[in-house]
């Protein structure tokens, strides 16, 4: 819904909005915005299948705002710093890496993030909106799509998802107990490092999708040597009771709050490349072990796997 709310609230009928396209989700955001008004794709890396981040930006002189997505779950690229937007309001989709590291929110006009990735259960969305942006909201919007209505009613115009918000509060207390977001960021770097080390040390058996400079700490994407091996992995996964992994893109190891360092260490010690897991995490991702045929030496560590759809 935020894909539509942003342009409905902040893209004037005679204006233009700049969108940075670095993967599937930012591309979808720009497509949705085009239903509401004029959109300029200021930068895109689609020509290389979104395997790196844009370095050159063609911004509009009179853009109403600049929109980008910090982390692309499907292609495994992540902005570690904000793209320069000059004096244009910077709007960001942080759904998949919110609260994974310290953040200076003062740089942004608006941040939105679905809770389901890092914050808590699906059904709640975090929106951080700079107050002066409310002056830009036009009159006559549908009530539930109007940021001004939400702000004036303290996000209580209708009954909010109380249980989801309660869980988000518990998760936040947990982070504080760990030492805050600086400690969380250090933990994320270590966990992602285990997987990238296995990919880089596999002699090409695993092939990372994203260029090293753009690698995500949340979604580690890679391919296997052949499509036949990937089909075999899907087949064995289905036989082991894990359905819905088949897609058309690279495999992704999804590193979320529910994945602990001890689980990665245990996975690293495992020599098998496929097997079953007896428990699922709170977010639905289970640490999966992968066993290759006897003729293929096991190389690497276990991954929390899914194969995304493009």
In a domain, 170, yes or no: no
Are residues 11 and 83 both part of a single domain?
yes
When pLDDT is averaged across residues 271-300 and rounded to a whole number, the result is: 34
pLDDT digits (tens, 9 = 90+) for 67-120: 999 999 999 999 999 999 999 999 999 999 999 999 999 999 999 999 999 999
For the question of residue 246 being annotated catalytic, the response is no
In a domain, 173, yes or no: no
Cβ atoms of 75 and 94 closer than 8 Å: no
For the question of residue 25 being annotated catalytic, the response is yes
In a domain, 61, yes or no: yes
Angle of helix 261-269 relative to helix 181-200, nearest 10 degrees, comes to: 10
In a domain, 260, yes or no: yes
In a domain, 120, yes or no: no
Are residues 15 and 139 both part of a single domain?
yes
Indicate which CATH number applies to the domain containing 105.
3.40.640.10
Are residues 136 and 48 both part of a single domain?
yes
Long-range contacts of 124-127 (CB under 8 A, 24+ apart): 124/160, 124/161, 124/164, 124/165, 124/168, 125/1, 125/2, 126/98, 126/168, 127/2
Are residues 16 and 145 both part of a single domain?
yes
In a domain, 281, yes or no: yes
pLDDT digits (tens, 9 = 90+) for 180-230: 999 999 999 999 999 999 999 999 999 999 999 999 999 999 888 888 988
Indicate the SS3 state at residue 111: strand
Are residues 153 and 18 both part of a single domain?
yes
Are residues 151 and 57 both part of a single domain?
yes
Instruction: Report which DSSP code applies to 150.
Output: H
Are residues 142 and 186 both part of a single domain?
no
- Count the Cβ atoms, other than its own, within 10 Å of residue 101: 17
What phi and psi values does residue 274 have, to the nearest 5 degrees?
-160, 140
For the question of residue 212 being annotated catalytic, the response is no
CA distance 251 to 304: 10
Domain that holds residue 54: 2-114+125-160
Q: Quote the Cα angle for 123-126-129, to 5°.
A: 145
When pLDDT is averaged across residues 109-138 and rounded to a whole number, the result is: 96
Are residues 154 and 195 both part of a single domain?
no
Q: Which of 18, 27, 97, 117 is catalytic?
A: 117
In a domain, 172, yes or no: no
Q: Which of 18, 27, 88, 93 is catalytic?
A: 93
Tokens of 138: 């036009």
């Amino acid at each position: 819904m935020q894909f539509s709310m942003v342009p409905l609230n902040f893209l004037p009928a005679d204006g233009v909005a700049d969108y940075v396209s670095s993967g599937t989700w930012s591309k979808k955001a720009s497509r949705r915005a085009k239903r509401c008004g004029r959109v300029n794709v200021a930068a895109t890396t689609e020509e290389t299948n979104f395997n790196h981040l844009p370095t050159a930006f063609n911004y509009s002189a009179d853009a109403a705002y600049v929109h980008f997505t910090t982390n692309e779950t499907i292609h495994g690229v992540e902005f570690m710093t904000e793209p320069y937007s000059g004096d244009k309001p910077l709007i960001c989709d942080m759904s998949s890496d919110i609260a994974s590291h310290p953040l200076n929110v003062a740089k942004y006009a608006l941040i939105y993030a679905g809770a389901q990735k890092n914050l808590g259960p699906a059904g709640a969305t975090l929106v951080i909106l700079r107050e002066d942006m409310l002056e830009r909201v036009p009159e006559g919007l549908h009530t539930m799509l109007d940021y001004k209505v939400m702000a004036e009613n303290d996000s209580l115009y209708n009954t909010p998802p109380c249980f989801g918000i309660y869980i988000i509060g518990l998760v936040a207390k947990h982070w504080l107990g760990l030492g805050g977001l600086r400690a969380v960021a250090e933990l994320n770097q270590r966990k992602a490092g285990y997987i990238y080390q296995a990919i880089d040390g596999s002699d090409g058996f695993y092939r990372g999708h994203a260029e090293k400079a753009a690698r995500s700490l949340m979604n580690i994407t890679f391919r296997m040597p052949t499509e036949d091996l990937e089909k075999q992995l899907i087949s064995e996964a289905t036989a082991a009771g894990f359905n819905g992994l088949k897609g058309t893109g690279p495999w992704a190891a999804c590193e979320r709050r529910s994945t602990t360092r001890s689980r990665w260490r245990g996975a690293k010690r495992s020599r098998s490349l496929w097997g079953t897991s007896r428990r699922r995490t709170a977010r639905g991702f289970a640490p999966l072990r992968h066993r290759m045929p006897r003729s293929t030496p096991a190389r690497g560590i276990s991954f929390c796997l899914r194969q995304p759809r493009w």
